[in-house]
Amino acid sequence: MNNELRIKKIIVILILLLAAFLRLYRLGDYPALNADEAAIGYNAYSLLETGHDEHGNSWPIHFQSFNDYKPGAYFYLVLPFIKFFGLNEWAVRIPGALIGIATVYVVYLLVNEIFAKQKKQLFVANPRMLALTASFFLAISPWHIHFSRGGWEVNLSTFFITIGVLLFLRSVRKVLSIKYLVLSILFFILSLYTYHAARIIAPLLVFGLSMIHRNQIKQNLKRFVIAGLIGTILLIPLGLDLMKGTVFSRAAGVGLFADTGTIERINEQRYEHQGTIWTNSRILHNKLVNYGLLFLNNWTKHYHGEFLFLSGDDIQRNKVPEMGQMYLFDIIFILAGLVAIAKKFGAWKAVLLWLIVAPVAAALTFQSPHALRAQNMVIPLVIISGYGLISLSSYLHKIFPDKKLLGLIFTIFILAISWNFSQYLLAYWQHMPKKYPFSSQYGVKELVEYVEVVGDNYERIVVTDRYDQPYILFLFYLKYPPERFQANHELSVADEYGFSTVRKFDKFEFRSIDFENEKQDNPNGLIIGTDAEIPNETHVVKEIYGTNGYKYFQIVAN
């Protein structure tokens, strides 16, 4: 037994090493830094240097950034890394990657926790086996790796939520131990400070978990109330910040109600009632019903096989080409897992609750399915998939006593997993930057390096704004002094999605290039445009290629 335990420990370490390799290898330079990551890095840098963010707000809870008011926890996590390693891509990303590795371990603990008391609820004798499989599946999960490799706030919030669930269940197991309960609430609240979507998911999870374990809670109501009070106090700063109103603009910009098609549909439906036996149809065709259905539709889209296993998210930044969010082999394992769960339901309530709740926040926005906002869904999915693999194996073991046949089946399993895994590696490392050249801000680093060298010779530098938010990447790569930037810039008026940008700082100006005009207006200026913006016969002094070999910029000296 002791020996077996040691082997399992070694396996855990191997899984963590695999997770670490997949998340840390070439973390600094692949994929290219995107504008949101640059914003995280530069704001943290600005805080360190001046005590204010890029726009001069002092130690904010939400960072104003592009007027999208990003929740601040990840910024503060990055702070020490920038302090010690300087302002660079690696420092912005390493916390996310480390958190990703930690999540793999937390899932191992979580599965052990769920089934610690309820081994009989499993088709396998030992819950550790399931814990190992689930954490292995998370370690190689495309969905999880993708958001671990980069400064993605969502990954941190998923980590907090996972550890929150773990501690909640541990507290329940230990007769509602106050220590674990308070810790659990603390982590859930941290997730609220980390990411918008967690503000819907975490409360729903806490509520659901409390309902599942309502009997224990009733018996120890006092402790539960104390934990709740502590939680409420911790929420006050967030609540005050949210009440300022500006933060809500972001939620309104991406929320369901931003989709005006629904209103048009209601009007159409009411119109179609005219001249029929039922003319006043407000009771059936109203905002509640139609937005309710839209929400349900969005929610179910996250369980659609096409999204999960075949094509993944529509947004290129959130996915790897030629793949779903999960592996193809997960189809079989998740199905088997669900069947096995249906047979012995008991301990699975928490996991199923999570599976149901996970996409709710994403479904409240108008882009669904959304891999980023629903990332925490990957945790219940890998647990179920792992369970599928294990229960399928034990089932096959039962019906095929013949060792050879069983061996063959396992070989097929292993082949399928490794085949899908290598497909993924190829897609992530080879195809992604070529197929989705705009999924990240490739080329800007190379551009800034060039501009730094020649910039002094020019009075003004005009840069195209075609690729997301170029100003922040310039600030980031130039390590532009924050106090100078804070004093001399202004944010543009928000666009239809609620985003603003900076059009001008120092000698840099950012706008879409109308070449003839720019040429007249900027004598002794440097004009940097896309391939399409610069006319063909112009004398181009330098072409900038991204690391993926795509030509992003053409530079014209005027």
Partner 1 sequence: MVEHQTFQIANSIGKNKVLCQCSDTLTYVDMHTKIGKIIKGNWLIIGVLIFAAVLRLWKLGSIPPGLTPDEASLGYNTYSILKTGRDEHGQLLPIIFEFFGDHKPGLYVYLAVPFVAFLGLSEFTVRLPSAIAGVVAVVLIYLIVQQLFQNNKLENGKYLEKQGSVPQEKMAVLTAAMLAISPWHIHFSRGVWEANVSLTLTLAGILLFLKAFKKPSFGYFSLILFALTFLVYQGAMFSTPIIIFALVISYNKSFRQRFSLRKVFLFRFFVFGVLIMFLVGLIIFSNNIGKTMHLNNFYEILRQWFAFFSARFLFFEGDWQDQIYSIPNHGMMLLADLLLLPLGLYVLIKNKLSKEKLFIILWLILAPLPAILLSDQNWTVRSYNTVIPLVLISSFGFLYLLNVISKIKRPVLLVTYYLVLFTFMTGASIYFLDAYFIHLPKHNAKYWFYGYKQVVEAVGSIQNNYDKVVFQQSDDQPYIYFLFYQKYDPKKFQEQSDFVRSEEGGVSYVQKLDNIHFQKFSWPYATGEKRTLLVGSPVAVSADYSKNSYNLVSEIKYPDNFMTAFRLVETK
The contact set with partner 1 (CB under 8 A) reads 265, 268-269, 271-273, 276, 278, 281, 284, 289, 293, 296-297, 300-301, 303-306, 309-310, 331, 339, 342-343, 345
Minimum CB–partner distance for residue 272 and partner 1 (Å): 5
Q: How far is the CB of 437 from partner 1 (least distance, A)?
A: 25
Cβ proximity to partner 1: between 243 and 342 the closer is: 342
Whether the CB-CB separation of 434 and 550 falls below 8 Å is answered with yes
Least separation in angstroms between residue 359's CB and partner 1 is 12
The residue (of 336 and 463) whose beta carbon lies closer to partner 1 is: 336
Q: Which is nearer to partner 1, 345 or 419 (CB)?
A: 345
Report d(CA 137, CA 22) in Å as an integer.
Answer: 13
Q: How far is the CB of 309 from partner 1 (least distance, A)?
A: 8
Q: CB of 302 within 8 A of CB of 369?
A: yes
Nearer to partner 1, 225 or 415 (CB): 415
CA end-to-end distance (rounded Å), the chain: 77
Element (H, E) at 223: helix 221-243
Q: How many CB atoms lie within 10 A of CB 479?
A: 14
What is the nearest approach in angstroms of partner 1 to the Cβ of residue 342? 4
Here the tokens at position 410 are 């396992």
- For 314, phi then psi, to 5°, come to -80, -25
Q: What is the tally of helices (H) and strands (E) in the chain?
A: 25, 8
* DSSP output for 65-108: TTTT-EESHHHHHHHHHHHHH-SSHHHHHHHHHHHHHHHHHHHH
| Cα–Cα distance for residue pair 467/440, rounded to 1 Å | 9
Taking the least distance from each CB to partner 1, the nearer of 260 and 276 is: 276
User: In whole angstroms, what is the distance from residue 61 CA to residue 63 CA?
Assistant: 6
Nearer to partner 1, 273 or 466 (CB): 273
Q: How far is the CB of 404 from partner 1 (least distance, A)?
A: 27
Cis preceding-peptide flag for 369 (omega within 30 of 0): yes
Comparing CB distances to partner 1, the nearer of 381 and 472 is 381
Shorter beta-carbon distance to partner 1: residue 297 or 524: 297
Please report how close the Cβ of residue 375 comes to partner 1 at its closest, in angstroms: 21
How deeply is 311 buried, as exposed, middle or buried, from its count of CB atoms within 10 A (0-12, 13-18, 19+)? middle
Closest approach, Cβ 123 to partner 1, in A, equals: 14
